[in-house]
Amino acid sequence: MQFKEGVNSEGVAREMWYALGFLDALYKLLAHNEATVTSLTDGSHHVGSLHLLGRAADIRTRDFGERVKQLIYIEAKWELGPMGFDVLLEDDHLHVEWHPKEGKTLWRA
């Protein structure tokens, strides 16, 4: 996994580290490339953004064709969604946030 220069990982929730590890493996499998994290707790985000709480990440997709982007998105959503993550495919990045709903959790007691 690579981090764009200036990305701040201070205060990132542990659940996000799980998602980032999964996404890096997925990028290697489907795109034959490491995931590049472009934003964590840094950058300009709207008020209420989960980036500010360490519960969101942006991962670059601009280097891949539409087919690979869609495969990454579908697989990420399928795997991470049931654990409480929202996955959105933006123009040039994948946005992933830890936003669990009732009945969805990553950590089991």
Average per-residue pLDDT for the chain:
90
The pLDDT value given to residue 4: 94
* C-alpha to C-alpha distance for 91 and 49, rounded to whole angstroms: 18
Q: What is the pLDDT of residues 29-46, one digit of tens each?
A: 999 999 999 999 886 767
User: What is the rounded end-to-end Cα distance, in angstroms, of the chain?
Assistant: 29
pTM of the model: 0.87
Write out pLDDT tens, residues 81-107: 999 999 999 999 999 999 887 766 665
Mean pLDDT of 52-80: 94
Write out the CATH class of domain 2-98.
alpha beta
> Which stretches of 2-109 are assigned E, i.e. beta strand?
2-3, 36-39, 56-60, 85-89, 93-98
Q: What is the pLDDT of residue 109?
A: 45
Contact of 35 with 75, CB cutoff 8 Å: no
